[in-house]
Amino acid sequence: MVTAIVLIEAERSAIARLGPALADVPGVAEAYSVTGEFDFVAILRVKDHEEIADIVTSRLSQVPGILKTRTHVAFKVYSKHDLEAMFSVGLQEAR
């Protein structure tokens, strides 16, 4: 599994409708509205790097209201949430 973080700058008039539109794009696992230089962060979780290229250059580019994107591909993930979920599954199965 490959994870990418896409920072998205949006047209002001599109911000209200862009979140749900991003979440509907296949390959987008999560979409967040955020403060700062960018308006949204989309988390992509896909099988391979080629899918990231397709999502960013073909699918996201078709969503009205996106002005600019900046994509970061993750090398490794460090998450207490993921570790806790793994261990809780193991504990539930052991019961």
Q: How far apart are CA 23 and CA 41, in angstroms?
A: 11
Amino acid, single-letter form, for residue 24: D
Let me know: does 74 contact 6? Beta carbons within 8 Å: no
Q: Which helix (H) or strand (E) holds 72?
A: strand 66-73
The full set of domains in the chain, from first to last, is 2-94 (3.30.70.920)
Tokens of 36: 């700062």
Q: How far apart are CA 41 and CA 33, in angstroms?
A: 7
| pLDDT tens over the chain, length 95 residues | 899 999 999 999 999 999 999 999 999 999 999 999 999 999 999 999 999 999 999 999 999 999 999 999 999 878 776 656 656 655 554 44
